[in-house]
Amino acid sequence: MIKKLILLLFFTSAAFGYMPPITIYANASSNFEMRTPATSGETINGQDADGTKEYLITNGDVVICRCVSATGWICTSFKSTDGDARAVTPD
Whether the pLDDT of residue 14 is over 60: the answer is no
Whether the pLDDT of residue 66 is over 60: the answer is yes
Tell me if the pTM is above 0.85: no
> Cβ-count burial of 29 within 10 angstroms (0-12 exposed, 13-18 middle, 19+ buried)?
exposed
Instruction: Enumerate the domain spans of the chain.
Output: 5-86
Q: Give the Cα separation of 76 and 73 in Å (integer).
A: 10
The dihedrals phi and psi of 87, each to the nearest 5 degrees, come to -90, 135
